[in-house]
Amino acid sequence: MTTQTDKPDNSEVPAETINASSKRAILVLLLAVSLISICAIIYEIIIAAVSSYLFGNSVYQFSITIGLFMSSMGLGSFLSKFFNRYLVNRFILIEIIIGVLGGVSSIILFNAYIIVESTVGYLLVMFTLIMAIGTLVGLEIPILTRIVAQYESLRVTLANVLAFDYVGALIGSIAFPLLLLKYTGLIQTAFIIGFVNVLVAGLVLLHYWTDIEKRARVVVTVVLAGGFLAVASAYGGRIGVWLESNLYHHRILYSKQSKYQKIVVTERNPQTEISSKQPSADSRQIKVTNRGGDVRLFIDMQLQFSSVDEFRYHEALVHPAMTLAENRKNVLILGGGDGLATREVLKYAEMQRIVLVDIDPEITEICSSHNAIVALNGGSLSHPKVTIVNEDAYIFVERERANQTFDVVIIDLPDPNDEGLSKLYSVAFYKLVGDILNPGGTMVTQSTSPFFARRAFWCIHQSIEEAGWNTYAYHVEVPSMGNWGFNLASKTPCDVTEIRLTVETNFLTDDFVGAMFKFGKDVAEVETRLNKLLKPVLIFYYDDEKWRFY
């Protein structure tokens, strides 16, 4: 029996003809099915994850990637009917091409983002890559099924192939978030998975050694592709560092993929020494002695702060709400894992307790220990009055509203560029925050840019109002971030013109505070739909074309 030609699809192979050699062949092929299924699902996830990492809106990125990938697989399955001879050779060639293309997929996408500098251009590259890999993946299973069908009945073949295919998909979908993303990252993972594809090609080559046409050429191709991907896998970490340096343009001081997000700390001028006097246990005033050479924190490529001007953002975020609150003894900070808002709150002598809730222990750990960041936040996260809770802010507020209350709630979360973050800007969430706030208390939330994402900003404002708050919008210029907005809210009416600062600041003055609550024509309020848990319109408002100028 030769394996290089088709056998009729309706053939039934008698059980007695399946000898030990045939069983080994079936086992090899079913193992190949599982491995290529693992590779296919991980390529899908990598492409969607890279696009989410670069552009946000993970629902959109994953939906487009999965839909296009599946339709391309259908195209590949259709094209497989034209493959009538040399099935093993062709399967090996397909695995090599998928391995190389999938292995460099994340590098292609990152470089497209860097070089093309156009969303449309990036999408063209992304769609082409998805369709190419998807079509090739669609060829794999039909060809393997026809090879396996030479050893057992079509009925049994289909059952076994599909079962191993689904098991492989499950393994891949679990392995990526739990192991690969955390320990090898997007670049190195793509190379490793590409190598697995070529490994499958090598496995099939060895098993069907005597049936391979033009064996020497196939061997050389497998060795070269496998060698390239093996070396690339070994140096994947260094390649990732090089790519990140091109993405961020500054020297990278720290880079880590946590369970939740990619954390990167950069510095423009590394020779500038940053220092800060650490606060004593009873210190209430925290001063930054040197802002250094523009230290920046990025989460999933989104700028969180620049050391050059972060005080503008954090003073504007914290002090209006702290000043208007009737009491300032107990403060809840949701997000703000960098400790910079906490630094500002610690300036108030009457403050007794700060609870900081940030979902990611990695971010609070680095901002408690990295010298460049500790120099900026004054060691605020290690202050004895500060309690850090690493938990989802929604879950914390929903649970603790029955157990404790606060005088001020400061919400310093990342921008709402995906559905997970959007819920923390929803009407339902703001109602929960109202339950955890003491009478006479205030709440403030960062609300993205009223210039770059005008509808998103006013959507947040109107969603807070819908939750029953008296809401006051304001904004400030932060050079590294542009025109940035906030929403101050209270259960009782406030007079924002009466705000008088009582602590030392680097930027705010009494006169300027009042000016922050005035808006020009191009950023004035517009009507929007409300952001709700089951209708997260905010993530679509946030996806504004003006961001491309930022």
**Whole-number pLDDT of residue 28:** 86
Give the torsion sign (CA, 475, 396, 531, 499). Answer: negative
The domain spans of the chain are 15-244, 309-549
Cβ–Cβ under 8 Å, residues 15 and 141: no
Catalytic, out of 300, 309, 358, 412: 412
Q: State residue 237's pLDDT score.
A: 84
| CA dihedral sign of residues 537, 539, 541, 543 | negative
Confidence (pLDDT) at 268: 83
The reported pLDDT for the residue numbered 269 is 65
Judge whether 519 and 525 are in contact, CB under 8 Å. yes
Output the 3-class SS for 49-87.
Answer: HHHHHHHCCHHHHHHHHHHHHHHHHHHHHHHHHHCCECH
What superfamily does domain 309-549 belong to in CATH? Vaccinia Virus protein VP39 (3.40.50.150)
> Given CA atoms 462, 464, 469, 474 in this order, what sign does their dihedral have?
negative
190 close to 103: Cβ distance less than 8 angstroms: yes
Alpha-carbon dihedral angle through residues 166, 167, 173, 176, given to the nearest 10 degrees: -140
With residue 252 as reference, give the H or E element that holds it: strand 251-257
Backbone angles phi, psi at 544, to 5 degrees: -100, 140
DSSP labels, 331-357: EEEEE-TTSHHHHHHTT-TT--EEEEE
Active site residue 309: no
Question: Residue 19 has what pLDDT?
Answer: 65
CB atoms near residue 82 (< 10 Å): 6
Please give the Cα distance from 290 to 526 (Å, whole number).
Answer: 41
Amino acid at site 494: C
Count, residues in the chain: 550
Q: Which CATH number fits domain 15-244: 3.40.50.1970, 3.40.190.10, 1.20.1250.20, 3.40.250.10?
A: 1.20.1250.20
Q: pLDDT in tens for each of the 550 residues of the chain? A: 444 444 444 444 444 455 667 778 888 889 999 999 999 999 999 999 999 888 877 888 899 999 999 999 999 999 999 998 889 999 999 999 999 999 999 999 999 988 887 788 999 999 999 999 999 999 999 998 888 888 777 788 888 888 999 999 999 999 998 889 888 889 999 999 999 999 999 999 998 898 888 899 999 999 999 999 999 999 988 888 888 878 887 888 998 888 888 899 999 865 444 444 444 434 444 444 445 579 999 998 889 999 999 999 999 999 999 999 999 999 999 999 999 999 999 999 999 999 999 999 999 999 999 999 999 999 999 999 999 999 999 999 999 999 999 999 999 999 998 888 999 999 999 999 999 999 999 999 999 999 999 999 999 999 999 999 999 999 999 999 999 999 999 999 999 988 999 999 999 999 999 999 999 999 999 999 999 999 999 999 998 767 766 5
CA distances from 425 to 73, 90, 336, 530 (A): 38, 52, 15, 10
- Model-wide pTM > 0.75: yes
